[in-house]
Amino acid sequence: MYGQWVLTALLAWPVLAALVVLLVPPRWAKHVAFAASLLEFALSVPLWWTFAPNGGIQYVLDLPWIPAWGIRYTVGLDGISLFLVLLATFLVPLSVLGSYSYITTRERGFYALLLVLTSGMIGVFVALDLFLFYVMWEVMLIPMYFIIGVWGGERRLYAAIKFFIYTFLGSLLMLLAILALVYVVGQRTGVYSFSYGHLLAHLGGLGALAYWLFGAFFLAFAIKVPMFPFHTWLPDAHVEAPTAGSVILAAVLLKMGTYGFLRFAMPLFPAVALDPAVQRIIVTLSLIGIVYGGLVAMVQPDFKKLIAYSSVAHLGFVMLGIWALTLQSVQGALLVMINHGISTGALFFLVGMLYERRHSRLIDSFGGIAKVVPLLSAVLTIVSLSSIGLPATNGFVGEFLVLLGVFRSYPLAAVIASAGVIIAAMYLLPALQRVIYNPLDKSTNEKLADLTPREIAVLAPLVACILWIGVYPQPILRRMEPAARQFIQTVRLNAAAFTAVR
């Protein structure tokens, strides 16, 4: 019972809760939303124990939806999507809690959209029907668009429409590619089905079309990741979004892009993915993302923008790890995805808390606040160090695994990427120093309040995760290993099969 319906419940519950949030009195909205998202998290926690690492795709529910077109409602979970779902359900309650004092207008709408967004995110990670995947992919776009556009900062309209148009362009081309893929496979097998399993089992025969289709998928996912040079929407969206929006955007939405590569783009078009020319392009773009993201982050006066560019660099590591196709690198990439969600999420929370106190995000408006707000400074230090990748924090484990794995496939790339780790220290440590150390020379900073219990409740789980994964990542690695192995096998075997046919 739990196994079959849990994913559907995870999808349906936030939407129902959103309706309730819309109906209750405004001052209750945040409490109802918090309770609902906590319940959602509680609903998802048993997945951690009931998940069988070697069980392949689990918790499957498969119902007909639009039979005329071979569209089904198919959801399921494997070792890759498990952690992304958990990450999403884990971060949403924290985001709600973190918005308690940040969001002061139209609260009902905000929290309802946040809950709908939850459904969309989980839907993307569990959909095993390409039509359903596309629908979910688009569904999460609208709440985010509203969250940025209504509750954002000064240039929110510009940021919101940029975010929308970029994503929409990529996803519509992907839609076309999905259609063409289904049509070609259908013509050969006689079964027109959008089912992921069916398409995966009947690959081949695409010829040169495969490059076009891969290109469309690549564009959709690369915009979302975002890979250089498709990243320009990200700083705007992050800077203008309210705290909760930034957190969710960085922690979960960006992962949809990398997840898309893992789940769809590479397994469905293995021959293209293993084409040396394509590999060279993507590895190069990832490296540019790592180095360029870091260098641009270094010169940002705005703390939030700095973190936004650091995301570009971190996601570059993920892409590199995925594309190296070794067990370590893929596992490392998966881990970086989770780590980035936790660390960057925490950083955005902290910047949001500073902003609420000081109404500024400029690094220069702070300085020496460690004396005034010791607790906040301590947390900021831990989180920054984890984002840099200091050993004993989560950041280290993931990036180390990626570098280790990449070194076996692309030694030179591993060397350049290592420089990225150093660059991370070069942009975060000076920023940290200018914010919390240095002399306390601004009188406005002398009366800042330290963390409130509510803020501690938001940050404590994140810090706990940072340390836990940093010290003992084994439970996570164990659960994702078979899925990572499976992914590599699928890509390599299918690619080999195609090359043999040709």
Partner 1 sequence: MTLDLARSLDLLQALLPELVLTTAGMVVLLLTAWRHRTPADLRLAGWVSLAGLAAAGAAAWWLWWNTARAAGAPAMIAVDDFRFVLDWLFLGSAGLTVLVSFDYLERERLLAPEYYVLLLFGTLGMMLMVGGDDLMVVFLGLELMSVSVYVLAGINRHSAAAAEAALKYFLLGAFASGFLLYGIALVYGATATTNLSQIGSQVRSLGLEHSPMLLAGLGLLLVGFGFKVAAVPFHMWAPDVYDGAPTPVTGFMTTAVKAAAFAALVRVLVEAFSAVAAWHGIVWWLAVATMVAGNLIALAQHTVKRMLAYSSIAHAGYLLVAVAAGSAAGSAALVFYLVAYALMTLAAFALLAAKGRDGERDVRIDDLAGLGQRRPWLAGALAICMLSLLGFPGTVGFIGKWYILVAATAAGRLPLAAILVLTSVVSAGYYLPVIMAMYMKPEPFEQAHAGMRLGRLGGVAVAVSVAGLLVLGVRPNRLLDLAKTSGEALHAGPARIVPGAPPSTATAR
Sites of contact with partner 1 (CB under 8 A): 66-69, 106, 134-135, 138-139, 142, 146, 149-150, 156-157, 160-161, 164-165, 168-169, 172-173, 175-176, 179-180, 183
- Smallest Cα–Cα separation from 343: which of 391, 403, 387? 387
| Cβ at position 170, least distance to partner 1 in Å | 9
Decide: residue 422, CB within 10 A, 0-12 exposed, 13-18 middle, 19+ buried. exposed
Query: Looking at beta carbons only, is 65 or 468 nearer to partner 1?
Result: 65
Q: Which is nearer to partner 1, 135 or 429 (CB)?
A: 135
- What's the closest the beta carbon of residue 435 comes to partner 1, in angstroms? 31
At 74 the three-state DSSP class reads: strand
User: Under a CB-based contact definition with an 8 Å cutoff, are residues 342 and 394 in contact?
Assistant: yes
State CA 74 to chain mean position distance: 22
Of residues 172 and 327, the one with the C-beta less far from partner 1: 172
C-alpha distances in angstroms, 436 versus 366, 380, 448? 7, 9, 12
What letter would DSSP give residue 227?
A: P
For residue 291, the Cα-to-chain-centroid distance in whole angstroms is 20
Beta-strand ranges (E) seen in 44-185 are: 58-66, 71-77
What percent of the chain is helix, strand and coil (3-state, nearest 5)? 80, 5, 20
In angstroms, give the least distance from the CB of 149 to partner 1. Answer: 4
Whole-number minimum distance, CB 312 to partner 1, in Å? 24
- Residues contacting 333, CB < 8 A, separation 6+: 258, 317, 318, 319, 320, 321, 322, 398, 402
In this structure, how many other beta carbons lie within 10 angstroms of the beta carbon of residue 449?
A: 12
* 17/87 with CB nearer partner 1: 17
Closest to partner 1 by CB, 145 or 410: 145
Taking the complex as a whole, how short is the minimal distance between the CB of residue 183 and partner 1, in angstroms?
5
Cα(5)–Cα(37) distance, rounded to whole angstroms?
18
Distance of closest approach, residue 173 Cβ to partner 1, in angstroms: 6
Nearer to partner 1, 171 or 344 (CB): 171
Please, what is the minimum distance in Å from the beta carbon of residue 179 to partner 1?
Answer: 5
Quick one: 173 or 379, whose CB is closer to partner 1? 173
In which residue are the tokens 């540019």 written? 288
Cβ proximity to partner 1: between 39 and 179 the closer is 179
CB of 143 to partner 1, least distance (A): 12
